[in-house]
Each structure stands twice: as C-alpha cells, then as structure tokens.
C-alpha cells in the first residue's frame, strides 16, 4: 500500500502530466468519460390504461399502470374470469418487466414497448391454461388515470 506521501507525489505527477496535455485532448477525455452516461437508454413512460389480450385471445382485460422513474405499479384485471391483481415491476429503455400477483399466484411478464409507445408485446411465465400459449399484447387506451394525491 502506498504511504500518504507517495500517493501525494503520484497525484502531483498526474496533475503535472495532465496540464501538459493539449486542451482538445482533455476535452475528448472528459467527453469519452461522460458519453456512456449520455447515451444510456431513456426510460419510456408506460403510465396509463391498457387493454390487453393473451393466450390466443382467450383472456382479456385492463391494466392500469403508474410509473415513478423506472419503477411501475398498478392493477391487472382479467375481464373474462373477473379476477384482479396487483402489478409491480420496472421499465428499462423499451423493456417492461412486471409481476402480476393475485391470491397466492403470480405471473412474470417480459414485454417490449413499440417505438410509438402504444403497444406492449411479449409473453409471461407462471400459471396458465396449458391449452393456450403465453403470448401477451396490450394497447394503450385513452382513459384518465387516477394520480396519487399528496396531502396539503
């Protein structure tokens, strides 16, 4: 391990070298350090109401999502069986992942948001009718979403 004096000497040498590097190269070094952060995928906004279908359109219903940063939560209603449930998950770029929970069951969804932000497509893992697949799609619908109120 370096002593305090040795580390100070190394730091001073690095600063000395850095001051002799042309300004253009210093700017390029700074930009190359920041570029990955600038190019990071933006988080898509999936807040809203969605009409969904799955399993060869054997099941359908409504999802309501609320997004805070990259985290999502909401409700999942199966209108064919009249079973509801909660959703928790995340969004990264155009990838949406969430877990639907109801009773003592849960399903894990992995979806992709379309470039126009109006469709989610993918599939799920978890309990389902084995006669049908696990493909899933949802379309954004224009219904008001209840915003969480903050106390006055």
The tens digit of pLDDT for each residue in 23-45 reads 656 565 655 555 555 555 566 88
pLDDT of residue 110: 97
Q: What is the pTM of this model?
A: 0.66
Same domain, 111 and 133: yes
Structural domain tally of the chain?
2
DSSP assignment of the chain equals ---HHHHHHHHHHHHHHHHTS-HHHHHHHHHHHHHHHHHSPPPP---EEEEEEETTTTEEEEEEEEEETTEEEEEEEETTTTB--EEEEEEETTEEEEEEEETTEEEEEEEEE-TTSSEEEEEEESS--TTS--EEEEEEE----PPPPPP-
Residues of the chain short of pLDDT 70, as ranges, are 1-21, 23-43, 143-152
Same domain, 72 and 31: no
Same domain, 52 and 33: no
- The domain in which residue 118 lies consists of 48-141
Same domain, 73 and 8: no
Position 81 in a domain: yes
**Which residues lie closer than 8 Å to 121 by C-beta, 6 or more apart?**
111, 112, 114, 135, 136, 137, 138
Same domain, 56 and 33: no
**CATH code of residue 126:** 2.40.128.120
pLDDT of residue 27: 63
Position 150 in a domain: no
Same domain, 9 and 59: no
pLDDT of residue 62: 95
Same domain, 30 and 57: no
């Amino acid at each position: 391990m370096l002593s305090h004096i040795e580390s100070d000497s190394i730091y001073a040498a690095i600063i000395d070298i850095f001051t002799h590097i042309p300004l253009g190269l210093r700017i390029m070094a700074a930009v190359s350090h920041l570029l990955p952060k600038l190019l990071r995928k933006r988080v898509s906004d999936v807040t809203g109401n969605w009409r969904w279908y799955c399993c060869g359109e054997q099941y359908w219903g409504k999802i309501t999502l609320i997004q805070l940063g990259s985290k999502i939560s909401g409700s999942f209603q199966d209108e064919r069986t009249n079973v509801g449930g909660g959703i928790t998950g995340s969004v990264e770029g155009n990838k949406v992942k969430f877990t639907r929970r109801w009773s003592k069951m849960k399903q894990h969804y992995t979806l992709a948001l379309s470039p126009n932000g109006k469709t989610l497509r993918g599939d799920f893992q978890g309990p389902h009718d084995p006669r049908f697949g696990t493909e899933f799609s949802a379309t954004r619908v224009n219904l008001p979403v209840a915003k969480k109120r903050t106390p006055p």
